């Protein structure tokens, strides 16, 4: 198995005593779309931030392609370029007055300066489902949430990463825009071999997009396995509890509680 990202005994305490990550060990293989699920406050974002170097672990290691990574400041440009992060809020992630072109030009310039191969902005936009030169000249403030999130995705593609970590990147989108992001992730995975780690609470996304699931509960990985196995025959009591609290389980399929009408 070709391991891309590995957490080895990661612990994180905030303010010296609140344990948020508790001996997290996991391996993300190359070529997969993995999901990280679990209750709100369980530590998913913190783990993603430790992976991307935005947060320092209290102890333990992050290995990327077999090499130990420190926090963002200590990482090489190539490591940062190869491991990209897409944030939850597409409105906060991009500067309102910038044009799409300038957002995408920044990583191009950084790659050029460092002699790294990059994806031309037009191609990145096409992968992100925003084909057409017209988009390059648009200001960010004129774009919808779904379009902004696709610009964020295009920006992350420029450096030709190996892995994209997306933290609830569809949470602020409507169902149609979220499904479109899912289809794009799948296409990027199948055609470019790009790997993903996705934090999501969206049952449809899990069913249609991911192939492997990690369940995080109170800062610890309580279950990990292929999607079909974890969703259909969860081995940890917590996994079933979580799924029942989030989704209505009916006829072998999952329906998100939020998407159900309550009887009058």
Ligand X SMILES: Nc1ncnc2c1ncn2[C@@H]1O[C@H](COP(=O)(O)OP(=O)(O)OP(=O)(O)O)[C@@H](O)[C@H]1O
Tell me whether residue 45 or residue 52 sits nearer to ligand X (CB atom).
Answer: 45
Place of tokens 């800062």: 219
Alpha carbon of residue 255 to chain centroid: 22
Phi-psi region of 53 (alpha: psi -120 to 50; beta: other; left: phi over 0): left
In the shown chain, the binding pattern of residues 1 to 20 toward ligand X, with x for contact by CB under 6 A and - for none, equals: -------------x-----x
Instruction: Find out whether 88 and 167 touch, Cβ atoms under 8 Å.
Output: yes
Report CA-CA distances (Å) from 4 to 59, 104, 192, 229: 20, 26, 15, 22
State which residue, 24 or 158, has the beta carbon closest to ligand X.
24
- Comparison of 88 and 122: residue with beta carbon closer to ligand X: 88
Asked if 35 and 204 count as a contact pair (C-beta separation under 8 A), the reply is: no
Site for ligand X in 40-59 (CB under 6 A): 40-46
What minimum distance in Å lies between the beta carbon of 45 and ligand X?
3
Nearest to ligand X of 47, 130 (CB atom): 47
Tell me, by CB under 6 A, how many residues bind ligand X: 9
The residue (of 46 and 195) whose beta carbon lies closer to ligand X is 46
Nearest to 188 by CA among 37, 33, 35: 33
Closest approach, Cβ 91 to ligand X, in A, equals 17
Q: In this chain, which stretch among 34-42, 130-138, 232-240, 255-263 interacts with ligand X, using CB under 6 A?
A: 34-42
Query: Can residue 171 be called a binding residue for ligand X (CB under 6 A)?
Result: no
Residues interacting with ligand X, by CB under 6 A?
14, 20, 40-46
């Amino acid at each position: 198995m070709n391991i891309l990202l590995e957490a080895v005994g990661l612990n994180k305490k905030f303010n010296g005593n609140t344990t948020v990550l508790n001996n997290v060990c996991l391996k993300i293989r190359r070529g997969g779309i993995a999901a990280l699920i679990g209750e709100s406050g369980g530590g998913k974002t913190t783990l993603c931030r430790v992976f991307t170097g935005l947060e320092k672990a209290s102890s333990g290691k992050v290995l990327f392609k077999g090499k130990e990574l420190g926090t963002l400041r200590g990482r090489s440009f190539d490591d940062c370029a190869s491991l990209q992060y897409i944030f939850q809020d597409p409105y906060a992630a991009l500067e309102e007055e910038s044009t799409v072109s300038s957002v995408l030009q920044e990583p191009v310039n950084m790659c050029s300066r460092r002699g790294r191969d990059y994806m031309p902005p037009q191609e990145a936009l096409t992968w992100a489902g925003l084909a057409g030169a017209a988009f390059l000249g648009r200001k960010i403030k004129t774009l919808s949430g779904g379009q902004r999130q696709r610009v964020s995705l295009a920006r992350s593609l420029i450096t030709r990463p190996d892995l994209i970590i997306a933290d609830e990147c569809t949470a602020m989108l409507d169902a149609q825009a979220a499904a479109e992001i899912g289809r794009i992730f799948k296409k990027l995975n199948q055609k470019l071999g790009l790997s993903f780690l996705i934090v999501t609470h969206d049952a449809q996304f899990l069913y249609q997009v991911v192939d492997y699931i990690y369940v995080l509960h109170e800062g610890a990985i309580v279950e990990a396995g292929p999607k079909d196995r974890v969703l259909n025959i969860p081995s940890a009591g917590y996994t079933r509890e979580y799924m029942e609290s989030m989704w209505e389980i009916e006829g072998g399929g999952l329906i998100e509680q939020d998407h159900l009408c309550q009887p009058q």
